[in-house]
Amino acid sequence: MDMTTMKSNHGFTLMENTSLAIATIAFGIMAGFFWTYSFNVNYAMQQVDGATYAQVQSLFNQNVRHSMFFIFFFGGGAFSVIAILFNLKQRRSVSFWMLVLASVIYIVGVIIYTKQVNLPLNYYTESWNITNLPNDWEATRDSWNSANLLRVVTSFIAFLMCVAAFVVRSSRL
């Protein structure tokens, strides 16, 4: 018997479950990344002066641009779409639609939102001269923090939806 077509007791193949697991892991890692930033780094950054904030935030933005970040950031979207494709035969199951919803939430609420909101704020922050900050530096910081909090929520919801999809699968719903 082919490993990709082996079915569990609940009618899902190894590839269907594995693809869902990979998407779940990617969502979980990104939810943890955004959570750590919002509830640790941002709290510390609210206590520093403008020049320190500008310098450190620019360094964070520049140093987050590496392969491991991109694999998981874009992987959440890509792996979930791949999981949907592997699970198309299960489109009548609740767990399939939970996966679809998780994918849409992540792609819209993290990837597209980052491009539309966080990246312009990053570029703006990186353009600052630390000896002559713009008058709106605190408002910009607060906007970025709020935008990142939305990414915490959306990535966490996507993660929870996939975890719930596994629970539903094990319950045969």
pLDDT 10s digits, 107-125: 999 999 999 999 999 999 9
Which of 122, 104, 99 lies closest to 169, judged by CA? Answer: 99
Tokens of 138: 């605190």
Task: Considering only residues 22 and 7, tell me which one the structure prediction assigns the higher pLDDT.
Answer: 22
- As a whole number of angstroms, the distance between CA 141 and CA 124 comes to 11
Q: What is the pLDDT of residues 60-69, one digit of tens each?
A: 988 898 999 9
Phi then psi dihedrals of residue 2, to 5 deg: -70, 135
The share of the chain scoring above pLDDT 90, in percent, equals: 88
Q: Which residue has the tokens 């970025």?
A: 144
- As a whole number of angstroms, the distance between CA 80 and CA 10 comes to 21
Q: What is the mean pLDDT of residues 97-109?
A: 98
Task: Considering only residues 14 and 8, tell me which one the structure prediction assigns the higher pLDDT.
Answer: 14
Predicted pLDDT of residue 65? 87
Neighbours of 67 (CB within 10 A): 7
pLDDT of 10 over the 70 cut: no
- As a whole number of angstroms, the distance between CA 58 and CA 66 comes to 15
Domain limits of the chain?
14-171
Residue 47 Cα distances to 10, 43, 50, 53, 62, angstroms: 52, 7, 10, 9, 21
* Residues 60 and 41 sit within 8 Å (Cβ to Cβ): yes
pLDDT of 131 over the 60 cut: yes
Counted residue by residue, the chain has a size of: 173
Residue type at 74? F
- As a whole number of angstroms, the distance between CA 13 and CA 8 comes to 6
7 — pLDDT class (breaks 50, 70, 90)? low
Q: What is the mean pLDDT of residues 85-107?
A: 97
* Residues 75 and 26 sit within 8 Å (Cβ to Cβ): yes
Predicted pLDDT of residue 11? 85
